Amino acid sequence: MKKNILISVGFLLAFVSCKEEKRSVETPKEITKPNIVIIYADDLGYGELGAYGATALKTPNLDRLANGGMRFTNGYASSATCTPSRYALLTGIYPWRNEQAKILPGTAPLIIDTAQNTIPKMLKKQGYHTGIVGKWHLGLGTGNVNWNERISPGPNEVGFDYSNILAATQDRVPTVYIENGHVVNLDPNDPIEVNYQENFEGEPTGLENPEMLKMKWHHGHNNSIVNGIPRIGFMKGGEVAKWVDEDMADYFLTEAQTYVKKHKDEPFFLYYALQQPHVPRTPHARFVGSSGMGPRGDVIVEADWMVGEFIKTLEAEGLLENTLIVFSSDNGPVVNDGYYDDSVEKLGDHTPAGVLRGGKYSLFEAGTRVPFFTYWKGKISSGVSDAMVSQLDLFSSIAALVDSNERTDDSQELLDLFLGQGQEGREQMVIEATSRTAFRQGDWAMIPPYDGPQINTQVNIELANSDVYLLYNLKEDIGQQNNLAKTNPEKLQQMIKAYEAIRGTEQMSVEQLELK
Ligand code: NG6
Ligand code: CA
């Protein structure tokens, strides 16, 4: 009798487990897939966050994530400027493979081929809803965009189900938000025209109408005036559609929060591309003075707050334990990037590049080595990794996370490392800055000779142009002060060989170089 009962219980259990299994087969697999959020700052340097050693600037929300997740000390953007880094991030392809991947004007055509694979396209095939909120800067349309019709192709044509973006940069026209290809709040009776060559008759400019400016230009940035701020490029019309710079951070935060709330019941991928601390730095009134460092510091405090609020939304929606968050920056820091905004005068003890040499536009480390961390509550335990990782690697690693077989040659699958369970990072990689490239391998950095000024005096950044090869051992010399090329000819030759194996031997013509 007893035996019988046991047998029946056994049967019952087998039956139940069978049903369980059946249920899990029937249940859409998507439900178990984690949400993925990439939060991407614009021009945030290696030394800018408390978690990376900043003391003068307070970034408690980002620090909480960085210290509670896996923080990389050798995390890289692919390029020292925006467009190439964003191209590489989304496609998993080195930006120097695409000649168009350089700083784009607001009228540039889309530089991602619509046939090209991207992270959001790959995720869509795995059942994800995909969205972008914030800065785009990868071009729109195919040339001669009519801003008063649907603008296409754009983010929606390269994998995003939803997009609400600024086209290029905050300092470039058109200064409007574009939602799924449509200018937000466009008045058909006040059509938008944009031109990067010449002004529209009778329209004021920063150059000719200094009396109209609330922020003065230092270099460049003297074309159309929007909200008292002179921009790059000329724009006419679209008065009510123009963004209010000081409200931009709140606008994108609300968009990001709304996106999450709307798609919380399906797996989603959100690319939340912050506009800070790129110029023009326009903190909302409640952040003015918050850093004591002028607008540049204030917008970093603002961005930190925005991220904190965004995390609160994930938490309130019960999503934090099922969401992988990746945070990084598109390139290194710049203090004066074209406006008089007190950033130089009020910098005080803050070192945006931390211990690194160079900055935005530079082939020295500060151009591409940036804050980079992953956070996943309850899944990634807190830690610090010195392994070398590139934003390029997100394509293949995210694919692995969602059981996709898709990979690119340039993107290494480092999922374990990003989830805090692996040790090994990249052995080597090519980095880019204004169409020049350099090489990192092991502890070493090698920069080939390039024509051009050693220092961009306008932004006061060392670019790493030199008549000779530069070779540094970063383990001993993180500040890149001792060029070892002469004393280590063998190492130099080995580095050049490994670099050329990836990059090719063809030299870039001077015209191709965007000399800074
Ligand atoms: C430069 C701008 C700079 C910034 C940069 C793009 C001038 C003189 N300088 O050409 O202010 O807009 O382009 O920055 O115009 S990025 O982060 O989007 O690459
Ligand atoms: Ca940038």
pLDDT by residue for the chain (516 residues), tens digit each? 344 444 444 344 444 343 333 334 444 444 479 999 999 999 999 999 999 999 999 999 999 999 999 999 999 999 999 999 999 999 999 999 999 999 999 999 999 999 999 999 999 999 999 999 999 999 999 999 999 999 999 999 999 999 999 999 999 999 999 999 999 999 999 999 999 999 999 999 999 999 999 999 999 999 999 999 999 999 999 999 999 999 999 999 999 999 999 999 999 999 999 999 999 999 999 999 999 999 999 999 999 999 999 999 999 999 999 999 999 999 999 999 999 999 999 999 999 999 999 999 999 999 999 999 999 999 999 999 999 999 999 999 999 999 999 999 999 999 999 999 988 999 999 999 999 999 999 999 999 999 999 999 999 999 999 999 999 999 999 999 999 999 999 999 999 999 999 999 865 444 444 433
Phi first, then psi, for residue 62 (nearest 5°) are -70, -35
163: helix, strand or coil:
strand
CA of 241 to the centre of ligand 1 (A): 23
Rounded Cα distance between 332 and 424, Å, is 24
The pLDDT value recorded for residue 506 is 65
The pLDDT value recorded for residue 507 is 53
Query: Residue 308 in contact with residue 293, Cβ under 8 Å?
Result: no
Candidate from 337, 514, 516 with most ligand 1 atoms within 8 A of CB, to mutate = 337
Directed axis angle between helix 248-262 and helix 295-316, to 10°? 20
The pLDDT value recorded for residue 11 is 42
Candidate from 169, 282, 362 with most ligand 1 atoms within 8 A of CB, to mutate = 169
CA of 330 to the centre of ligand 2 (A): 5
- What is the pairing mode between strands 35-41 and 323-329? parallel
Cα–Cα–Cα angle for 8, 9, 12, nearest 5°? 85
The pLDDT value recorded for residue 32 is 73
Rounded Cα distance between 52 and 38, Å, is 19
Query: Residue 95 in contact with residue 101, Cβ under 8 Å?
Result: yes
Instruction: List Cα–Cα distances, 356 to 327, 369, 512, in angstroms.
Output: 20, 8, 27
Region of residue 459 (left: phi > 0; alpha: psi -120 to 50; beta: else): alpha
Handedness of CA 480, 482, 486, 488 (dihedral sign): negative
Q: Which residues line ligand 1 (CB under 6 A)?
A: 42-43, 81-82, 103, 137, 169, 171, 219-221, 232, 278-279, 331, 337-338
Query: Residue 59 in contact with residue 50, Cβ under 8 Å?
Result: yes
CA of 492 to the centre of ligand 2 (A): 31
Q: What is the pTM of this model?
A: 0.93
Query: Residue 282 in contact with residue 246, Cβ under 8 Å?
Result: yes
The pLDDT value recorded for residue 22 is 38
DSSP conformation class of 509: P
The pLDDT value recorded for residue 31 is 46
Which residue's structure tokens are 């219980």? 9
The pLDDT value recorded for residue 443 is 98
Amino acid at 393: D
Helix (H), strand (E) at residue 296: helix 295-316
- Written as one string, the DSSP assignment of 362-428 is -SSGGGTB--EEEE-TTTSPPEEEEEEEEGGGHHHHHHHHTT-----SSS---HHHHTT------SE
C-alpha closest to that of 190 among 170, 209, 176, 207: 176
* Atom 6 in ligand 1: residue holding the nearest Cα: 103
Query: Residue 206 in contact with residue 222, Cβ under 8 Å?
Result: yes
Cα–Cα–Cα angle for 141, 137, 425, nearest 5°? 125
Segments of 222-366 assigned E as strands: 225-226, 229-230, 234-236, 268-273, 323-329, 339-340
DSSP conformation class of 145: -
C-alpha closest to that of 334 among 360, 366, 358: 360
Handedness of CA 231, 338, 439, 38 (dihedral sign): negative
